[in-house]
Structure formats: structure tokens, C-alpha cells
């Protein structure tokens, strides 16, 4: 009936207005506690000296763009994946390739090393996340032992083992994240809340915590409770896609890299954005970010082929690293913080220290 339709329309509009006014109120509340800027408080600490950061190893072997990489807990091995469908395990210290797998799809956008060092997970345009146990026998065909774990309805953008070889957390172009039991392939928990592709996730570095953060094309960074599947905190200040999210080592904050050419720091206790890392001369998107062990430095890879190193507390840039000949797609600091690895569309990976 006509009047029912009218009532429904009014309800939706009223609800919308209510939602928006609550959101505005939240921003007000958040702003009230903003009594000082991080970089102002950081004025009292010493500035960092000039850094000598060089490429210490160059890993050549991929036939196309490197899209993702991850470190093994042994601090020297890495796994990398590429647009050409290849996933390679390297001993980055010696630059030797130890294993290679060819995926049935191109654009393998995500890869991860298992905590035990005995398996790797990867996926991309196949919408799946598959786990490959790493065999000591070099002749063994790794592809034969492949186990399909996650199934999404769009590309797999990121994957990460939790503290165990037995669970994998994934994010996807279908707008969701999901937690999977590796052995059975069972979906343990799904996370809904993003309104567009989810591009990245990172697990909180806590012995007791059960949370992770995700970022996506809806410009939002969401914090999730793994147990309940609930979105517990949300931040929306970027002006374009969030390509990468990483926790600050204490777990109280996280950084993001975005296509709006900025990186930002969000603190969970302050419940707001607390720093922006940007420059007029940086106009290309940041694809990937990671912290040094103490959290003082933020390494960020950009689509302008460079890596910028930021002083997290003072907000200034302390170094710009040239070397890659195409976009930097991934940047990860090693488990003991002695180096970081960058992967690029120039088909190579570099280890910097």
C-alpha cells in the first residue's frame, strides 16, 4: 500500500540520519581527547642520524612482477609470489632458490610462510588459498601435495598463518576476511563489514590477543575480534584505497599505506588517527608498509618505485631508497629486524640493511 511504502522510506531515511549523526558524534568525542600532536610530544627525543641502508642481496628469478613475500621464522628464508604464477622459496642469505611451485593461475597476490617453516600458503586470482608442505626432497613435486584451504568468491588479496600451521586468516576481493582450519578446510569464522575489496590484513602481535586489522578499497581500516567475528573498531580517514596494514610492535597501534600517497598511524587506545606520513613530492600510492623492531621506523614501498623510511614519532622522512625499476609491491621486515625485504614489479626482490 502506498502509505506503508512511505513509512518504510521514512524509516530508512530516519535511520540513515541517525547513523550519520552518531558517526559525527563519535568524531567529536574522538577529537575531544586530542590535546596534543604526536610529533609535538616527540620533539623531546633525539632526531635519528643519517642512515646507511643499502641493498645487501638481490633475488632474481621471477619472470614477472613480484606481488608478495613473507619471511620464515628462521630469519633468513623467504617465500615470494609473482604475476607469472610462480611461488619461490629462497634462502635470502645465500640467494639460493630452494623450492619453486607453479600455480594454476596468474597473479599470485598473496603468500605466507608457516610458523614451523615447513609449509607455505598462497593464492590470488584463483580465489583460493592453498597450502604446500615444503619437502626436504628437492625432487619431490610440491604441487602434488597441494591442499586447498580457503575458498572466496573473488581474488585472494592476503593470507597469514595465525600462531599455528593449522589456521590461516585470509582477505579477499569479495569484501570479507575469513579464518580457516587448514587440515579440514573448514571455515572457522568469517568477518563481514567492509563494503569493498579487502586488500590487506595483519594479526595483532600479542601472546594473548585474538584480534587482527584489515584495510580495503572502502578506505576503512577495521579491527576484528577473531573469536566473535565482530568488528570492534573502525577508522576511516584515508582518501583512497588502503593497500596495506601493519601493527606497531606493541600492538597498540597500526600503520596503513594508501593510494592517496600517504601512510597513517592509528592508535587503538586513542581511537583515532595520530600521525600522517606524507610529502608534496610523493604523489604515487603507498603499496606496502612495515615497522622496524622498535617501531621507530616505518618502511613504506611506493608505486613510484621508491621506498621511503619514516620516523614514526616525529613524522619526518629519514631516507628515500632508490633501486627498484618499477613499482614496489611489498615490504616486510625480517623477524629479528636485521633487514627488510622489498618485492617489485621489476621482477626482483631486494634485501636492505
CB of 139 to other proteins, least distance (A): 28
CB of 61 to other proteins, least distance (A): 19
CB of 191 to other proteins, least distance (A): 14
d(CA 282, CA 260): 10
CB nearer to other proteins: give 34 or 102.
Answer: 34
Residue 245 near other proteins by CB under 8 A: no
Q: Is 154 helix (H, G, I), strand (E, B) or coil?
A: coil
In the region spanning residues 293 to 352, those forming contacts with other proteins, defined by CB under 8 A, are: 293-297, 303-306, 312-313, 319-323, 325-326, 336-339, 345-346, 351
- The CA-based angle 138-140-142, given to 5 degrees, is 105
Residue 276 near other proteins by CB under 8 A: no
Helix (H) or strand (E) holding 211: strand 211-216
Identified binder of other proteins from the candidate list 6, 7, 45, 118, rule CB under 8 A:
45
Between the alpha carbon of residue 11 and those of residues 21, 66, 68, 199, the distances in Å are 15, 50, 46, 34
Residue 208 near other proteins by CB under 8 A: yes
d(CA 309, CA 296): 10
CB of 241 to other proteins, least distance (A): 5
- Interface mask (CB under 8 A) for other proteins, residues 103-122, using x and -? ----x-x-------------
Identified binder of other proteins from the candidate list 71, 248, 277, 310, rule CB under 8 A:
248
CB of 223 to other proteins, least distance (A): 11
CB nearer to other proteins: give 141 or 230.
Answer: 230
Per the listing, cell 583512497 goes with 240
In the region spanning residues 77 to 96, those forming contacts with other proteins, defined by CB under 8 A, are: 93
d(CA 249, CA 240): 25
d(CA 347, CA 284): 20
Identified binder of other proteins from the candidate list 7, 23, 104, 148, rule CB under 8 A:
23
Question: Which residues, in sequence order, are CB contacts of 104 under 8 Å at separation 6+?
Answer: 85, 126
DSSP sequence for 108-169: --EEEE-TTSSEEEEESTTSEEEEEEPPS-TTS-GGGG-EEEEE-SS-EEEEEE-SSTTEEE
Residue 34 near other proteins by CB under 8 A: yes
Identified binder of other proteins from the candidate list 166, 211, 276, 316, rule CB under 8 A:
166
DSSP sequence for 229-251: --EEEEE---SS-EEEEEE-TTS
Per the listing, cell 633501486 goes with 323
Residue 253 near other proteins by CB under 8 A: yes
CB of 47 to other proteins, least distance (A): 10
Residue 60 near other proteins by CB under 8 A: no
Amino acid at each position: 500500500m502506498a502509505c506503508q511504502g512511505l513509512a518504510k522510506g521514512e524509516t530508512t531515511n530516519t535511520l540513515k540520519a541517525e547513523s550519520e549523526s552518531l558517526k559525527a558524534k563519535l568524531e567529536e568525542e574522538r577529537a575531544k581527547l586530542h590535546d596534543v600532536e604526536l610529533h609535538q610530544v616527540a620533539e623531546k627525543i633525539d632526531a635519528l642520524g643519517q642512515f646507511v641502508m643499502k641493498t645487501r642481496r638481490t633475488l632474481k628469478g621471477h619472470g614477472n612482477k613480484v606481488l608478495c613475500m613473507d619471511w620464515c621464522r628462521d630469519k633468513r628464508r623467504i617465500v615470494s609470489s609473482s604475476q607469472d604464477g610462480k611461488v619461490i622459496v629462497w634462502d635470502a642469505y645465500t640467494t639460493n632458490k630452494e623450492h619453486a611451485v607453479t600455480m594454476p593461475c596468474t597473479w599470485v597476490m598473496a603468500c605466507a610462510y608457516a610458523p614451523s617453516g615447513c609449509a607455505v600458503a598462497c593464492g590470488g586470482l584463483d580465489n583460493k588459498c592453498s597450502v604446500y608442505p615444503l619437502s626436504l626432497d628437492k625432487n619431490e613435486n610440491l604441487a602434488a601435495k597441494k591442499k586447498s584451504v580457503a575458498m572466496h568468491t573473488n581474488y585472494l588479496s592476503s593470507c597469514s598463518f595465525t600462531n599455528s600451521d593449522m589456521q590461516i586468516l585470509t582477505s579477499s576481493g569479495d569484501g570479507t576476511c575469513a579464518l580457516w582450519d587448514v587440515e579440514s578446510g573448514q571455515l572457522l569464522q568469517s568477518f563481514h563489514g567492509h563494503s569493498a575489496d579487502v586488500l590487506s590484513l595483519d594479526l595483532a602481535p600479542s601472546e594473548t590477543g585474538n584480534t587482527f586489522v584489515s584495510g580495503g578499497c572502502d578506505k576503512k581500516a577495521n579491527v576484528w575480534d577473531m573469536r566473535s567475528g565482530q568488528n570492534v573498531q573502525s577508522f576511516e580517514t584515508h582518501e583512497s584505497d588502503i593497500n596495506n596494514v601493519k601493527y606497531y610492535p606493541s600492538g597498540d597501534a597500526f600503520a596503513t599505506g594508501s593510494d592517496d600517497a600517504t601512510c597513517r598511524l592509528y592508535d587503538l587506545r586513542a581511537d583515532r588517527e595520530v600521525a600522517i606520513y606524507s610529502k608534496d613530492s610523493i604523489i604515487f600510492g603507498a603499496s606496502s608498509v612495515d615497522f622496524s623492531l622498535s617501531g621507530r621506523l616505518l618502511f613504506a614501498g611506493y608505486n613510484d618505485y621508491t621506498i621511503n623510511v619514516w620516523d614514526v614519532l616525529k613524522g619526518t622522512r629519514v631516507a628515500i631508497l632508490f633501486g627498484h625499476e618499477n613499482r614496489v609491491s611489498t615490504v616486510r621486515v625480517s623477524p629479528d629486524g636485521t633487514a627488510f625485504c622489498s618485492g617489485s614489479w621489476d621482477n626482483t626482490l631486494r634485501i636492505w640493511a
